[in-house]
Amino acid sequence: MTTAHPWACAALSAPFCVALSVALLGPGTAAAAEPPAARDSAADGSPDCVYHSAQWDVVKKRNTNGILVHKPYAQVTDDERDPADRRCTVCRGDQTRIDPKRLGLAKLGGFSVCWAYAQQVEKALETIAKAGDFDLKAVVGYRPGRTRGAVVDGKRTQWSNHSFGTAIDLNAFANGLHASCNVSQATPATVKRCKLRIGGAWDPEGRPRLTVTAASSPYRAFAPFWKWGGEISGDIKDFMHFSISGY
C-alpha cells in the first residue's frame, strides 16, 4: 500500500491511524499529521489564535478593513472554523508551512496550508515535480479574508476557503477565475465565451506547461483529495483553485 485512503482513518482507532499515516510517509516528507504542537501561546502557556484578515470591497475592488485578531484559542468561534472540516481554522497556528524546495520544486517559494492537509499537499507537489510536465511558478494557500458571500455596505461577509488553509491556487497568472462560464466541460472553445475576472487567461494550447487542465499533473496530484475549481457546476470556473468543495 502506498497511499492513505480517506476511509482508513475513519475506520481505525486514532492512535493506529496516526501511526499508519506516519508509516506511509516516504523519505523527504515531514509535515505533521497532528495539530501543530507550538501554536501561538499566551504568557501563561495556553494556546492563542492569531490571524490577520481583511474584507473584499466590491466597489473599490480591493481588500479593506484589515484587522489583526489575537485571542485565546478556546474562544475560536464556529464561524472561524472551516464548515467542511472543523479541524481547520483561520488561526495561523493551525497552518503548516510547506517548503517546495525540499520536494523537488527548487524555484517555488513557501506557503502554508491547514495542518490536516499538509502531508497530502506535499505529496501532490512531489507528484508534479516528478511528472516534469508542469512549471509551477506561483502558489497561494492560507490567506484569511472575507471575499465571498453576501455583500453588506459594499463588502463581502463570508470567509474564502483559503482563510482556513483548505484551498490552493496554482499559477494564477495563467489559470484565471472566469464568470458567465456555465460550461459542461472546460475546453479552449467553450471557455473563450466566458469572462475573465481574476488572474490571467486560461490557454492550455498556447501555454501547456503553465495551465491546469483535467489532463495535467496538478489535477492528477490534487484531485484525489480536493476538487478542481475548473469543473465545479455553476457560472464560475476558477482554474487556479483546488479545495475541499472546489469553490
* CB 169, min distance to Zn ion, A: 4
Nearer to Zn ion, 47 or 176 (CB): 176
Q: Which is nearer to Zn ion, 89 or 166 (CB)?
A: 166
Q: Which three cell numbers stand for residue 89?
A: 481554522
Least CB distance from residue 212 to Zn ion, whole Å?
Answer: 12
**DSSP-assigned beta bridge partners for residue 72:** 48
Task: Decide whether 54 or 167 has the Cβ nearer to Zn ion.
Answer: 167
> Considering only residues 44-73, where is the footprint of Zn ion by CB under 5 A?
none
Quote the DSSP letter at residue 79.
G
The CB-of-167 to Zn ion minimum distance in angstroms stands at: 5
- Of 20 and 140, nearer to Zn ion (C-beta) is 140
* Distance of closest approach, residue 155 Cβ to Zn ion, in angstroms: 19
Q: Which of residues 83-112 bind Zn ion (CB under 5 A)?
A: none
What are residue 151's DSSP bridge partners?
156
H helix or E strand, kind and range, residue 190: helix 188-191
Helix (H) or strand (E) holding 56: strand 48-57
| Contact set for Zn ion, span 146-205 (CB under 5 A) | 167, 169
Helix, strand or coil for residue 150?
strand
Cβ 176 to Zn ion shortest distance, Å = 11
Which lies closer to Zn ion via its Cβ, residue 33 or residue 194? 194
- What is the pattern of x (binds Zn ion, CB under 5 A) and - over residues 208-247? ---------------------------------x------
| Interface size with Zn ion, residues (CB under 5 A) | 3
Q: How far is the CB of 198 from Zn ion (least distance, A)?
A: 9
119/175 with CB nearer Zn ion:
175
- Angle ∠(118,165,122) on CA atoms, nearest 5: 20
Most distant pair of Cα atoms in the chain: their distance: 60
Smallest distance, Å, CB 232 to Zn ion? 12
Whole-angstrom CA distances from 123 to 30, 98, 182, 194, 203 are: 10, 11, 32, 33, 26
Nearest to 31 by CA among 140, 161, 160, 165: 165
Does 82 contact Zn ion by CB under 5 A? Answer: no
State how far the Cα of 243 lies from the Cα of 81, in Å rounded to an integer.
15
Q: Which residue is nearest to Zn ion (CB)?
A: 241
Which are the contacts of 38, defined by CB distance < 8 A and separation ≥ 6?
93
Rounded distance, CA 226 to CA 241, Å? 10
Minimum CB distance to Zn ion smaller for 48 or for 95: 95
Binding site residues, Zn ion, CB under 5 A: 167, 169, 241
